[in-house]
Structure formats: structure tokens, C-alpha cells
């Protein structure tokens, strides 16, 4: 297979994305591969507002029932969206390098259920037999900035203008305007 340089330099045509992906005007979508794991069957399954930058390290891994929404003017440097249900990102949000945002654990906690999960999701397995796993939407409000390598877990709401430090692991809500750091993430002055 020959490389089409347009596919990695933002010169490919977003109109070739699935019909349930909505992209606003003025967006920069650097790499087609960012959408390779988008498999939502919802409509819409992905909504990108206007003037959003999606750099090459970003990955939209969206399950069939998932919906990801990105507000106007946000900058997605390198987040991986692991979406089973809903991840909502506000306006002018920055998600830096190697950020992971997951609205589910994607696998059961119980060992017996994990055995079934492993067999159902193995090559040749029947994925319809996978145990049901809880999900809880993630919301990142306007003007929040999420630092390099931070991980945002299911059910978390990051308030408007909050700052999440590099490498933070966020499992609880972050108040608007607060700064959090560390693992587990704690509010810092």
C-alpha cells in the first residue's frame, strides 16, 4: 500500500468520514488515522464544532453506542477518547499529549466475568456474549486544560477553566477554576 501524504498532513477530505461524523467549518484534522477506531452507529456519533484542531496523535476510539462532542475552538493535541457512552468536551478546551479520556472501564471487575469477557473478545469469539460493563459520561467544560499524560476516568466532570496537571489521574470531579495534580489527582493552590 502506498502512503497518501494527504492522509497525514491534514489535506485529506473530512467529507469521506462516516455520515454520522459532523465537522464544523475551520477545523484542522491532521491525520485520517485518528478516526480509524471510530465505530459508533449513533447519529451523530461524533460532533466536532468550528475551528477545532485535531493533531496527529489524537484517537477517537468510539464504541457503537458512543457519542463524542468537541466544542468550538478546542485544541486536541494527542488525546485518546475511549468512549462507550458519551464524552463531552466544551469550547476552547486543550487536551495535551498522551491524554486518555475513558467513560468506561470497558472490562468487568469480577474475575469470572473477565474470563467470559476474554473468550468473547478473543479472535473468532462472539462479542455479543461479552458481559455488560457500566459506563458513565465524562464532561470537560469550557476553557479547561488537561496536561500531558493525564488520565480522566468515567463519570468525571472537569469544571470550566480547570487545570489538570501533567500525569494526573482524575477519578473525581474537578471544581471549576481549580488546579489538580498527581495520582490520585488532588486540588493544589
Partner 1 sequence: MTAAGSRLEHDWFPGELPASVRIGAGSWVHSAHAFQHFRSERDPAVVIGEHSGVYVGTYFDLGPDGSVDIGDYTTVVGAIITTDARVSIGDHAFVAHEVVIADGPWAAPPGAAIARRPGGPGPRDVVIGPTAWVGARAVLLGGAHIGEGAIVAAGAVVDSEVPPFATVAGNPARVVRRAAS
List residues binding partner 1 (CB under 8 A).
3, 5, 8-9, 51, 53, 55-57, 73, 75, 77-78, 92, 94, 96-98, 145-149, 163, 165-168, 181-183
Catalytic-residue membership of 109 = no
Rounded to a whole number of angstroms, the minimum distance from the CB of residue 47 to partner 1 is: 19
Nearer to partner 1, 26 or 64 (CB): 26
Catalytic-labelled residue, pool 50, 107, 114, 115:
107
Nearer to partner 1, 41 or 183 (CB): 183
- Cα-to-chain-centroid distance, residue 153: 10
Nearer to partner 1, 177 or 182 (CB): 182
Distances (CA, A) of 125 to 51, 65, 82: 41, 20, 22
Rounded to a whole number of angstroms, the minimum distance from the CB of residue 96 to partner 1 is: 5
- Strands (E) in 55-183, as ranges, are 59-62, 67-70, 75-83, 86-89, 94-102, 138-140, 145-146, 151-152, 157-158, 163-164, 169-170, 179-181
Q: How far apart are the first and last CA of the chain?
A: 52
Residue 127: other Cβ atoms inside 10 A? 9
Residues in the chain: 189
Beta-carbon-side half-sphere exposure of residue 153 (alpha carbons within 13 Å): 11
Nearer to partner 1, 122 or 188 (CB): 188
* Torsions phi, psi for 101 (to 5 deg): -125, 115
Question: Catalytic site residues?
Answer: 107
Amino acid at each position: 500500500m502506498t502512503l497518501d501524504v494527504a492522509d497525514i498532513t491534514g489535506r485529506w477530505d473530512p467529507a469521506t468520514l462516516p455520515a454520522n461524523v459532523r465537522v464544523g467549518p475551520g477545523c484542522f484534522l491532521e491525520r485520517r488515522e485518528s478516526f480509524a477506531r471510530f465505530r459508533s452507529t449513533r447519529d451523530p456519533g461524533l460532533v466536532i464544532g468550528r475551528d477545532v484542531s485535531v493533531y496527529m496523535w489524537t484517537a477517537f476510539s468510539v464504541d457503537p453506542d458512543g457519542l463524542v462532542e468537541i466544542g468550538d475552538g478546542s485544541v486536541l493535541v494527542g488525546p485518546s477518547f475511549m468512549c462507550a457512552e458519551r464524552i463531552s468536551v466544551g469550547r476552547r478546551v486543550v487536551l495535551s499529549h498522551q491524554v486518555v479520556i475513558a467513560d468506561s472501564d470497558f472490562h468487568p471487575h469480577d474475575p469470572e466475568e473477565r474470563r467470559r469477557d476474554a473468550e468473547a473478545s478473543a479472535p473468532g469469539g462472539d462479542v455479543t456474549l461479552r458481559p455488560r460493563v457500566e459506563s458513565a459520561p465524562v464532561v470537560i467544560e469550557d476553557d479547561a486544560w488537561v496536561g500531558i499524560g493525564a488520565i480522566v476516568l468515567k463519570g468525571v466532570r472537569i469544571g470550566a477553566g480547570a487545570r489538570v496537571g501533567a500525569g494526573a489521574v482524575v477519578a473525581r470531579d474537578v471544581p471549576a477554576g481549580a488546579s489538580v495534580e498527581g495520582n490520585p489527582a488532588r486540588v493544589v493552590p
